[in-house]
Amino acid sequence: MALSLQPYLIQKIDDQTYEFNTENGIEYLCSFLSFSEYFANRPDIAPYFFSFNLELKDKNVKLPRGIDKRIADTVITIVGDFLNAQINAVVYVCDNSDGREAARSRKFLSWFDYYEHPSTKIIQVSNNFDAGGLFIYTTLLVHKKNKRIKDIILAYLDLTKEDEK
Amino acid sequence: MTKVEMFQKMLDDQKIIREALQNGIPLKELEKTHGLKFATLPDPKN
């Protein structure tokens, strides 16, 4: 099925940051932070790992009720384009500062579970685990045609493996 | 760095990024102040 995403207009506000505004006037900022430091034991692929960050521009903004599917479409577009080069991988670690990390994880996973989403292009691997009492929700996204896909998935699973007790 | 420390740092860095963006601080500044490195983004296709 053809892709029918309807993303909001994405603007680059500097070399590290994209911005998009919703029809409700909510402003979001996106960036990709290098995660190479967490893969020091795999220097051959470490430079290709990034985290994806999605933030509200105004921390005091009141979010409208209901689901805005176009936010998901916009995030899918941004992350999809980032992965399309078939080199990088994205790790999403759910913010737990407000106790809503499980809901945040479900929402992020659902965004990449679209029926018509390029599941033909992107593989999603999710691993939630207990890091010494800190419960972490994570997801890896990588392009199916990434030549290092096997190494990338193994390195991600190793990173998100619970330490043996 | 232990695994707990790694994931705590990831979450702490998220908070640093959030606060910087909400205060209008360019992420480039965080490279100097916190050693955080960001991907250089291409122009969006739209």
Mean pLDDT of the residues in chain B: 93
State whether A131 and B3 contact (CB < 8 Å): yes
Sheet holding A17-21, edge to edge: A11-14, A17-21, A27-34, A49-56, A89-93, A134-143, A122-131
Q: Is the pLDDT of residue A115 over 50?
A: no
pLDDT at position A2: 45
Is residue A110 scored above 90 in pLDDT?
Answer: no
- Relative orientation angle of helices A69-83 and A101-111, to the nearest 10 degrees: 70
Residue ranges of the alpha helices (H) in chain A?
69-83, 101-111, 149-159
Name the burial class of residue A22, with classes exposed (0-12), middle (13-18) and buried (19+) by CB atoms within 10 angstroms of its CB: middle
The predicted model gives A133-147 an average pLDDT of 90
pTM of the model: 0.90
- What SS3 state is found at A3? coil
Distance from CA of A73 to the nearest CA of B (A): 12
The pLDDT of B11-23, averaged and rounded, is 95
pLDDT tens for A63-91 read 888 888 899 889 989 998 999 888 999 99
Cβ-Cβ pairs closer than 8 A, A with B, add up to 100
Q: Rounded distance, CA A82 to CA A45, Å?
A: 16
Cα–Cα distance measured from residue A99 to residue A82, given in angstroms and rounded to the nearest whole number = 29
Give pLDDT, residue A40: 95
- Say whether the ipTM exceeds 0.90: yes
Answer whether residue A165 shows pLDDT above 70.
Answer: no
- Rounded to 5 degrees, φ, ψ at A106 are -60, -40
Residue A105 is classified by DSSP as H
What percent of chain A is modeled with pLDDT above 70? Answer: 92
Q: In this complex, is the C-beta atom of A67 within 8 Å of any C-beta atom belonging to chain B?
A: no
- In this structure, of A16-25, A27-36, A147-156, B1-10, the range with the lowest mean pLDDT score is B1-10
| Residue ranges of B 1-46 with Cβ closer than 8 A to chain A | 2-4, 6-8, 10-11, 13-15, 17-18, 21-22, 26-28, 36-46
**Residue A143 β-bridge partners:** A122
The tens digit of pLDDT for each residue in A17-32 reads 999 999 999 999 999 9
Q: Look up residue A135 and give its two tokens.
A: 């419960």
**Identity of the residue numbered A146:** N
